[in-house]
Amino acid sequence: MRSFITKSNLETIECGIHLASEFNSGDVVCFHGGLGAGKTQMIKGIVEGMECADLATSPTFNIIQEYLTGRLPIYNFDFYRLESTTELVGLGFDDYLFGDGICLMEWAEKVESFVPAVHWSINIEIIDNDSRKITIFSPGEKE
């Protein structure tokens, strides 16, 4: 487990850039944190750190955003608006989850029963308007 304090959106993005080098094909990364915590900022950094030509945006209205031009394919899921896990079947969720890219899951607690036992977990807590506490659990570490 590692914890960091970031004091701006830019620092949160930079944290994601550095973390991206640790991800491998098939990794699942679960993000936890309230609205406005900085999940999307962290993901912007990960996408940049994976050398993707595209700029990351929140997939809130699409559930999934794909970034395919980097070191590995990235599948960014935002489950905030997910009404039922039966929607996952229509998305082909298993194909993404067990594919050769990495899956980044915002609001992962909504699909907890589908998340593999071994996964990354990133908790982001709001400290104040600008500062965040980011706690990263590598695969196999207890939360």
> Does the pLDDT at position 13 exceed 90?
yes
pTM as predicted? 0.93
Q: In the predicted model, what is the mean pLDDT of residues 133-141?
A: 94
User: Quick check: helix, strand or coil at residue 60?
Assistant: coil
Q: Is 83 helix (H, G, I), strand (E, B) or coil?
A: coil
CA distance to 37, 58, 132, per residue, from 82 (Å): 19, 14, 26
- 2-137, CATH topology level: Rossmann fold (3.40.50)
Confidence band, pLDDT 50/70/90 cuts, at residue 91: confident
Instruction: Pick the more confident residue, 57 or 26.
Output: 26
On the 0-12 / 13-18 / 19+ scale of CB atoms within 10 A, 25 is: exposed
Q: What is the mean pLDDT of the chain?
A: 92
SS3 label, residue 120: strand
CA–CA separation, 108 vs 90, rounded Å? 18
**What's residue 59's pLDDT?**
62
**Rounded mean pLDDT, 80-105:** 87
Tokens read off for 68: 């395919």
**Percent of the chain whose pLDDT exceeds 90:** 71
pLDDT single digits (tens) 47-76: 999 999 888 877 667 788 999 999 999 999
pLDDT of residue 105: 95
User: What is the reported pLDDT for 6?
Assistant: 97
Rounded to 5 degrees, φ, ψ at 7 are -115, 10
Query: 42 with 31: CB under 8 angstroms?
Result: yes
Chain-centroid distance, C-alpha 121? 9
